[in-house]
Structure 1
Amino acid sequence: MKLNHINLEVTDVTATVDLFETYFGFRRTRLVTQEMAFLRDENQALISLFRNEAVVYPQMFHIGFTRETVEEVDELHRRLVEGGFHPEAPREDHGRWTFYFATPGGFTLEVQKFHRELV
């Protein structure tokens, strides 16, 4: 089974599109407007974004991405910092090397690499 799509309401469509394209390898599938956008990854999973300036996600809500190596997690963290984002520092957490950060769309992303068996 593969993930087909995620539909998100975001506070800033354009900035969220830029984030997904620049750092996560997504590509737009249609014209991006300030109101909506559609992005696909290399597996053809779709993220649809719709503007809602008042959206508030639950505290624990986040979307997680896995990298192939711990070094890739660290490199993405470095690039995000250089790009003006403020991710927390990468850390060990239950067998994962991971970090979280708040997106310009109003939700949280996690980047991780499982590097040992979970206990």
Structure 2
Amino acid sequence: MKLNHLNLTVTDVPAAQKFLEIYFGMTFGGSLGNGFVAMLDDDGFVLTLMQGREVHYPKSFHIGFSQESRDQVDQINQRLKEDGYDVDPPRHAHGYTFYVNAPGGFMVEVNSE
């Protein structure tokens, strides 16, 4: 069984969309208007973003993007830092990983083995 899609409620759909496009290569898959867009990855997964006034995800809630190498994790981390995001350096936890707060009120994990 394959997970088809996931819906995130975010406070800023355009900013979240741009973030996912720039740093994680997701592409715009369509919009129904009224603050709703579908984002696609290169494996057919659909992440929908829906406008909400307030977002209160649990502290541990996040979405994750696996990378093929530690170098890719480092490159994304460095680019986020250069663009003004507050990110800690990657560390060895359950893989080589770091977290970043994305525009719109959700957290993203970036990791590799």
TM range (shorter): over 0.9
* Match in the other structure for 2:29: 29
Letter in 2 for 1:87: V
Letter in 1 for 2:59: Q
Q: How does 1:1-119 map to 2 (within 5 A)?
A: 1-31=1-31, 35-94=35-94, 96-114=95-113
Letter in 1 for 2:37: A
The secondary structure found in structure 2 opposite 1:30 is: strand
Displacement of 1:82 in angstroms is 1.6
| Alpha-carbon RMSD | 1.5
CA gap 1:111/1:34 in 2 versus in 1, 3 angstroms: farther
Aligned residues: percent identity?
40
The secondary structure found in structure 1 opposite 2:30 is: coil
Find runs of 4+ consecutive structure 1 residues off by over 3 angstroms: 31-34
> Between Structure 1 and Structure 2, which shows a larger proportion of strand residues?
2
Q: TM-score, normalised by structure 2?
A: 0.92
Letter in 2 for 1:98: T
Separation in structure 1 between the aligned mates of residue 60 and residue 34 of structure 2, nearest angstrom: 27
Letter in 1 for 2:100: F
Structure 2 stretches of 5 or more lacking a match? Answer: none
The count of aligned residue pairs is 113
